[in-house]
Structure 1
Amino acid sequence: MAEPDAAVGDLKKASMDRLTLNYVWKQKSTPVVLRRTGRGEKLRVRLPFADDNRQWLRNGRRTAPEWIGGNQAYWELPKSWFNDFVDRALRRYGKVYIIQPFREQEICARACQEARGHECQCSCMGANHGMGNDGSWFEVSDTFSTRWGERELACRLLTAR
């Protein structure tokens, strides 16, 4: 099956606030998929209402999607359906929101962390200038250190071309 052309739209990295994520999750005009990590975790999907949503999600597979009612009201799908769901949602709706966990990577250098004065030419833009290494940095070389931030949620909107 040929993959549809997709353009990555709005990639929201740095700390998505809860209001934005809640808005994306609760809006009803664009499909949303929440990709979670962890063993046994399933995809959570919200779709604009249509009588054939269950059949469309199932797409002839033996396993049926599970409807979770209540306040949230979403479908649960196996993780392995992720790529197929996104491709088909782009064809059917023209766009799809993807919410998924991410950890931001920070890059700096020992020269910056041990620097004196105010001049900084590092990608941290001076945020770590002269602060030293508190043990959270992985030093690859004298000119490259990295560390990963806390796990957060990111949201991106894919649109069909």
Structure 2
Amino acid sequence: MRRPIDEVRLHAWMPYAGGSNRRWIHEELGERMHPTWNPDADPKRWEIARTHLRTLIEAMAVRFGEIDVYLQFSTRQRCDTRCQTAEGDDCICRCMGENHGGAAYWREWIQVGDTTLVSSPEVRERHYVVRRADVI
């Protein structure tokens, strides 16, 4: 399962079950929700409203034993103009030296205070394996 940052629906993959996956989704999430099968996506997938994330993760873990979950997050780096223009190795900025002396020259920085900089957002993805309680 994947929660993409730039889309309003979750992406869920399940083994083919002879047409019973839609019925199972409705049993777990309710008859009023509208899962969409997207056969044009690569790979083909179910698309489900983001509000069902936790319930769907738990239900899929029970059904399949374990599932891979990928959650995307948007992050901004923070730094300081004094850090980026610094010389030498001493850095006490919140970037912990990552941008010291202009090291992260490829980022687009926006100055939001006298010396405070923030970068344009980056998308990062975390991978979790969620297992059913009785699976070791």
Q: Does the TM-score normalized on the shorter chain lie above 0.5?
A: yes
**TM-score normalized with structure 2 length:** 0.63
Equivalent pair of 1:103/1:149 in contact (CA under 8 Å): no
AA partner of residue 136 (structure 1): I
Q: 1:112 aligns with which of 77, 83, 87?
A: 83
Match of 1:53 in 2: 21
SS of 2:59 mapped into structure 1: helix
Secondary structure at the aligned position of 1:119 is classed as coil
Partner residue of 2:54 out of 83, 90, 105: 83
RMSD (Å) for aligned C-alpha atoms = 3.1
Among all aligned residue pairs of Structure 1 and Structure 2, give the percentage whose two residues are the same amino acid: 23
Q: Does 1:102 align with 2:102?
A: no
Aligned residues of 1:36 and 1:42 also touching (Cα < 8 A): no
- TM-fit CA distance, 1:154: 1.0
Name the structure 2 match of 1:33: 2
Task: Structure 1: give runs of 5+ residues left out of the alignment.
Answer: 1-31
CA 1:158 to 1:147, structure 2 compared with 1: closer, same or farther past 3 Å? farther
**Number of the residue aligned with 1:43:** 10
C-alpha displacement at 1:87, in angstroms? 1.9
Which of 86, 95, 109 in structure 2 is aligned with 1:124?
95
Distance, in Å, in 2 between the alignment partners of 1:36 and 1:135 is: 21
Give, in whole Å, the separation in 2 of the partners of 1:87 and 1:98. Answer: 11
CA distance in 2, matches of 1:67, 1:123: 44
Shift of residue 111, structure 1, vs aligned partner:
4.5
The one-letter code sitting in structure 1 at the alignment partner of 2:36 is E
Q: Is contact 2:36-2:48 (8 Å) kept?
A: yes
5+ residue gaps, structure 2: 103-107
* Consecutive aligned runs of 4 or more in structure 1 exceeding 6 Å deviation: none
